[in-house]
Amino acid sequence: MRAGRDAPTLMTTFTLEELARFLGGRASEVPGPDIRGVRPVEYATETDITYVTDEVFLKKLVGSAALAVILPPGLDPGGRPSIQVSRPEAAFARLTRLYYPYPEPSGEISPRAEVHADARLGSDVSIGPFAVIGRGAVLGDKCVIGAHVVVG
C-alpha cells in the first residue's frame, strides 16, 4: 500500500478502529468489527463498509446489508458501527483505493493488444489483451490499460 504514514498495513481485513485512524475520523466502537470490503450503500454486503452524506442516503442505509457506515457528524447511524468524518464521500474513495489498489505497471504489452503505429507510449506502459490503442493516442509513463479497454 502507498498511503500515508498512519495507514494500516496492507491486508484484506481491517477493524473499524484501523479504518477510522487511517481516515482521521472517529470510530463508534473500538476496535469494532472486521471489515472486508467497501461498496456503495445499494451493493454493500454484511462484511462491507459504505457511506452516507445526508438524510436521503440515510434512508437507503436502512435497507442496506452494510456492516458499517462512514457518515458526517450529526447523522445517526441507527445503531450500526460507524466512522464519523467531515467528508464521507472523500473518505469512501480513500478506502476504495485501500481495499482495491491500482495495479502496478508490468511494462508488458500483450501480443493480443492492438496498438496503432501513430500512438505514443510512455515508458513502462502495460497494455492488456484485446485492448485497442488508437491513432494519435498518448499514454503517459507507467500507464496501465486493462484488457478490452479502448483508448481513442
* pLDDT < 50: residue spans in the chain: 1-11
**Cα separation of 55 and 108, whole Å?**
47
User: How far apart are alpha carbons 139 and 132 in whole angstroms?
Assistant: 12
- For residue 100, what pLDDT is reported? 86
Give residue 5's pLDDT. Answer: 37
Rounded to an integer, what is the distance from CA 56 to the centroid of its chain?
23
Q: Model-level pTM?
A: 0.68
pLDDT for the residue 73:
95
Class of domain 14-99: alpha beta
The predicted structure's pLDDT at residue 7: 42
Instruction: Specify the pLDDT at position 6.
Output: 44
Instruction: Give the pLDDT confidence score for residue 12 in this predicted structure.
Output: 80
**Contact present, 17 and 1 (Cβ < 8 Å):** no
**Stretch(es) of the chain classified as CATH 3.40.1390.10:** 14-99
